[in-house]
Amino acid sequence: MLASNPVKRDSIFDSILAAFGDWLRKRRLIGQFRQRLDRCDSNELAHIASDLCVSAGDLRRMAKLGPDAAKLLLDRMASLHLDAAAVAKNEPGTMRDLQRLCSTCANKKKCQFDLLLVPNDSMWWQYCPNAGTLDALQSEGLNAR
């Protein structure tokens, strides 16, 4: 009789498998949301977009990007010591605009790289569509506690 030899999983393999599982779950979630939007008639879509203070076109674009499309905004706000929760509470329209612009920004890779390597360098001002608004929020004193 052969002795059983349990296969040991490598932690790197586990990490890759977990990352793939997370990616797959997000893709499914995005697909489900897009299907629900596609089933809406133009009046329903306009009503949802109006409730969110975005255009119907922006709503469709954001639905394609997924729930983490504006994650870099939160990272940038943290690097600037801005309290994202306070901004969302005190200035919800401003927060929605920040999220919308971040979600559709063409410079995500550069932003991610800068946040990782040189978060306090002001070079992000050259390409970030939210630079002026984030500066104004800092001036208002919505710093993280």
| 5 within domain boundaries | no
Using the structure block, give the residue that is written with the tokens 């995005």. Answer: 30
40 and 80, same domain (yes or no): no
116 and 76, same domain (yes or no): yes
| pLDDT tens, residue by residue, 79-113 | 999 999 999 999 998 998 999 899 889 999 999 99
Q: Residue 58 sits in which domain range?
A: 10-66
| 89 within domain boundaries | yes
| pLDDT tens, residue by residue, 26-65 | 778 777 877 887 888 888 888 888 887 778 887 787 777 7
Round to whole Å and give the CA distance between 145 and 139: 15
72 and 28, same domain (yes or no): no
41 and 84, same domain (yes or no): no
Predicted local confidence at residue 143, as pLDDT: 60
Residue environment code for 70-79, b if the CB has 16+ CB neighbours within 10 A, otherwise e = bebbbbbbeb
DSSP code of 8? Answer: P
What angle is formed at CA 49 by the lines to CA 87 and CA 55, rounded to 5 degrees? 90
User: How many independent structural domains does the chain possess?
Assistant: 2
| 27 within domain boundaries | yes
